[in-house]
Amino acid sequence: MLLWVLSFTILVSSDNSVPIYKYSIINTYKHSSKDYTQGLEYLSNDILIQSAGEYGRSRLQKLNFPSMSIIKEYKLDPSFFAEGITILNNKIYQLTWLEKKMFVYSTDLVLLDVIIIKNPILQGWGICNDGIFLYISDGSSFIYKMDPNSYKILSSIKVHQGTKYIVSINELEWVNGEIWANIYYSKYFIRINPDNGNILAWVNLTGLEANEDAFWYGGYVLNGIAVYDQKIFVTGKCWEHLYEIELVYYQNITDVPKY
């Protein structure tokens, strides 16, 4: 009996085993501590598109990289709180938080369209695309797949590890067939299988921004993943730096870490 329990346990744990990564910093760049980063995308090696949130301060920015000088800025009406962005077919899609509207811009930040976001998407948090479809998070465990032409929701996944659902799925990035996602108020981001919502890996970014713990209380948490030209960039809301990092395998875990 004991043997059976033992082998069963081993079998289960090896099935549920998920890698957790640490990071190493490749480059450190400056980032404006005035920018409450909600979305981050590279248009090219030297042009960064950023969505910054908060009521009265929400904007979409086209920035020179790495100088971070502003090429162009589109300020949203103070009644909108800007959220995640993604770039698909030369259009920038920008979510808003509680306003249930998504703005569509040209890559020169000319507003082209305003889309009404309908239920079951409750709020606008993060957005990414696979080259064809949009994927939207709303602060729950769900990620919704949306047709960028009809804006119909085609399907959804619920992010989980084993039987545990992960909530507060935030900023999204499509990376080589995976969805990478910040978890709001967490020092970890996760790599998700977009077909079934399974967590493929955890990435532990603890200690990345030197004074992050002081920032934490102001809500200035990790937010913003941009992968461009095989390079991984991360920053946080009002962080003083943007980092290029590499993922470093740490170990496999069998349970959800305390995130």
Ligand X SMILES: *[C@@H]1O[C@H](CO)[C@@H](O)[C@H](O)[C@H]1NC(C)=O
Which stretches of the chain bind ligand X, using CB under 6 A? 17-20, 204, 206-207, 252, 257
Tell me whether residue 21 or residue 125 sits nearer to ligand X (CB atom).
21
Cα angle 234-151-75, degrees, rounded to a multiple of 5: 50
Write down the least CB distance from residue 250 to ligand X, Å. Answer: 6
Task: Tell me how many helices (H) and strands (E) the chain has.
Answer: 2, 22
Query: Looking at beta carbons only, is 20 or 43 nearer to ligand X?
Result: 20
Q: HSE (CB half, 13 Å, CA atoms) of 6? A: 3
Question: Which structure tokens are listed for 30?
Answer: 């400056």
Find the shortest distance in angstroms from Cβ 17 to ligand X.
4
Closest alpha carbon to 192 in 248, 147, 145: 145
Please give the order of strands across the beta sheet that includes 82-88.
Answer: 82-88, 91-96, 101-106, 111-116
Kindly report the backbone phi and psi dihedral angles of residue 213, in degrees, each rounded to the nearest multiple of 5, phi listed first. Answer: -70, -35
Q: Which is nearer to ligand X, 211 or 252 (CB)?
A: 252
Shortest distance (Å) from residue 209 CB to ligand X: 13
The least distance separating ligand X from the CB of residue 192, rounded to whole angstroms, comes to 14
Nearer Cβ to ligand X (55/250)? 250
> Least CB distance from residue 246 to ligand X, whole Å?
16
Q: Which is nearer to ligand X, 90 or 206 (CB)?
A: 206
> Which alpha helices (DSSP H) does the chain contain, by range?
2-15, 212-216
What are the structure tokens assigned to 199, written together?
A: 């967590």
